A and B are shown apart, each in its own frame.
Chain A
Amino acid sequence: MTWMAPRTVAEAVRLKAEWPEATLVAGGTFVGILTRQGLLASDDWISLQDVRELRELSTGSELALGAMVTHRRIELDPGVAAGWPGVRQVFAAVASPRVRNAATIGGVLGDADYASDPPAMLIALDAWVEALSVRGLRRVPVADLIVGHYRTSLEEDELITRVLVPRGRHHVTFRKLRTRSREDRPCVAVAASLHEGRVSVVVGAVAERPQRFPDLCATWDPADGASAGEIAAGYADRIDPIGDNRGSAAYRTGMIAVEVRRALDTLAPAALTAQAAGR
């Protein structure tokens, strides 16, 4: 068994290319669970624990989060809170502080767990990831990253290095419908963001991947009381949800219609104000 701990991103991607069977370890949460449950038996490991650049967080014209930045750090960073309230809100909503101490942004995106909260919000905020391999750097919108049940569009030898979130999305809402314990994962999650007159609504936790329908969102008229309900009904109609211990498929369909409508209703006042201001 080999434990590799590269110190730079370049070294990390080189190792990943040389050791295709090795397991990549970020915060270690997901890999830890799989190993403990006997679902993963790795001989070789590539740990990112010593790659300093992956822990960088910077706020400028965009928010740049290194893949190894923890949920907890994102939740507590004043710069994130000031410029990217949606990011702060969604990362703070994950599980408990103890889980957030270990879980990383790169990990949660790489794992592509259908019930995770952050992907839906990051898509609503038009975020993208930088994925690095020995062949170079790729920019992938988060919307195109998660493609299925625990599957991403990353190549085998690619590593998420940064997540970038554009500025200026202050009117956001994140709704997490928990049907059991308040510590439970969501039955339905809705992230919605308003930007330059456009609303972006993303539904998570109901299907293999987050669900967004820009064409439906484009029909939104915040001044029309029925508009939000129609869009919500449209989402409910188009999504084929899973059923699990948190709710049946039929229940989820019903709740998609409720939660999307409520998310839009939450953003309506800000949208109307922006319209009135002629922006």
Chain B
Amino acid sequence: MNLLLQVNGAPVQVDVEPGVMLLEVLRDRLGLLGARGACGVGLCGTCTVLLDGEPISSCILLAPLAQSHTITTIEGVPDDDPVVRAFDRHHAFQCGYCIPGMVLTARSLLAECARARRSPSREQIAESLGGNLCRCGCYVKIIDAVQEVGS
């Protein structure tokens, strides 16, 4: 079937089988490699992309369900984004595999906090990032970075 997707602000058309996941469309068809598959069950968060600004697991989202939503991947986040810069300043990464998912999820949290005019606490940040696993164990610095942007 023919899908019309809005990816990082631009419309793209792809022809896919209905049973294909959004992750494969992004990686294999559109060359956007920042979303990764690491667990196959939507738990680890490395496949995170934003759908209308909210994080979802792209590895278990059937691609047709992503139509009529805006999709944001890490490639759509500019280098001078405050969250990206904060991660860089705090060195909130090691291998980097989980970091795009962390950055996207953090941006969504911070946008929600900005709308509510509040700063997230460390516990709230951990809550929001609880579904993004980092085996390298960068949680402390990641929370530091997000807290700094949110304050």
Binding site for B on A (CB under 8 A): 1-3, 5, 25, 28-29, 31-33, 35-37, 41-42, 45, 47, 49, 72, 95-99, 101-102, 182-183
Count class of interface residues, chain B? 20 to 34
Across the interface, B42 reaches (CB within 8 A) one of A1, A5, A42, A99, namely A99
Given A3-B18, A29-B42, A49-B65, CB of A36 within 8 Å of CB of B57: no
* Contacts A96-B128, A98-B132 known; 14 new A-B pairs at CB < 8 A: A2-B18, A28-B62, A29-B60, A35-B21, A36-B59, A49-B65, A98-B45, A98-B56, A98-B57, A98-B131, A99-B43, A99-B57, A101-B56, A183-B131
Residues in A whose Cβ lies below 8 Å from that of B51: 101
Interface centre among B18, B59, B109 (most CB of A within 10 A): B18
26 A-B pairs whose Cβ atoms sit less than 8 Å apart in the complex:
A1-B1, A1-B17, A1-B18, A3-B1, A3-B64, A28-B61, A32-B57, A32-B60, A33-B40, A33-B42, A33-B60, A41-B19, A42-B19, A45-B18, A45-B19, A47-B62, A96-B128, A98-B55, A98-B57, A99-B42, A101-B51, A101-B55, A102-B42, A102-B57, A102-B61, A182-B130
Given A3-B1, A35-B62, CB of A102 within 8 Å of CB of B21: no
Residues in B whose Cβ lies below 8 Å from that of A101: 51, 54-56
Q: Dominant SS at the B interface? A: mixed
Across the interface, B21 reaches (CB within 8 A) one of A5, A36, A42, A45, namely A36
Contact A97 B55 (CB under 8 A): yes
Residues in B whose Cβ lies below 8 Å from that of A36: 21, 40-41, 59-60
| Residues from 49 to 76 in B contacting A, C-beta threshold 8 Å | 51, 54-57, 59-62, 64-65
| B147 contacts A by Cβ under 8 Å | no
Contact B40 A97 (CB under 8 A): no
Min distance, Cβ A252 to any Cβ of chain B, angstroms: 23
Interface centre among A31, A49, A182 (most CB of B within 10 A): A49
